[in-house]
Amino acid sequence: MPQRIIPWHLVLLLLSLVSPLEAVASDHDASPLTPVTPIDAIEGHLGLGYFTDFAPLGVRYWWSPKLALDVGVDGALTSGSTDAWRAGGELGVVYALSSYHYCVVIARGGLGFRATDARGDVATGRRFDTQLSAFVGAELFMGALGFPNVSLQGGYGLSATWAHQGGTELVLGITDAGLNMLGAARLGFHIYL
């Protein structure tokens, strides 16, 4: 009689199916102090990180298991043949749609403002950008790897940017002001303290 060997990838598949069932059962038996979602462990902590290209450096603060606040900043200085500066910020609200194990599905809306000025050989003058953004994504916490306070995140959504060249009056036209709307993918991370 031939001996039958079970392939290793079938064993891994079966183990991955059993593992979530055990986690769900243990969540119901957990004490009130045991975190059930990843947000329970980081609620009330600041998360330093990088996320949007409009205001890339910032913090996230989960004040409840469903709501968080993002504050991002942007800035740059250059000197030489052209002296330029850029400063901006963005405020975002994050809503947790659902969570499972180490993953939280989120929806985020944001409003940002940025000012840019350049003087010198290639002077562009002042420019002001206002951006509205909305996207859906996920925040994946690295608790399975032993880093429960580190998260990677990504999402996809829309952003609309209105640009206005500086001056004493607003001139609507192709070269002075414009509205740009596009779909955008977002990738980033947070480290919660």
Tokens read off for 182:
């596009």
pLDDT of residue 4: 54
Q: Cite the DSSP H helix spans in 29-169.
A: 38-42
All domains in the chain, ordered by first residue: 8-192 (2.40.160)
Strand partners, 86: 76, 116
Strand partners, 69: 61, 93
The amino acid at residue 127 is R
Reduce the DSSP state of residue 92 to 3 states and report it.
strand
The amino acid at residue 149 is N
State mean pLDDT over 118-129: 77
State mean pLDDT over 24-45: 67
Rounded CA separation 135/183 (Å): 9
pLDDT of residue 148: 87
Q: Which residue has the tokens 């039958």?
A: 4
> Of residues 146 and 175, which shows the higher confidence score?
146
Rounded CA separation 75/86 (Å): 5
Closest to 41 (Cα-Cα) out of 189, 153, 151, 188: 151
Tokens read off for 86:
């850029």
pLDDT surpassing 90 at residue 141:
yes
> CA distances (Å), 48 to each of 16, 17, 18, 51, 188, in order?
32, 34, 35, 10, 11
How do residues 62-104 score in pLDDT, each as one tens digit? Answer: 999 999 999 999 999 988 777 889 999 999 999 999 998 899 9
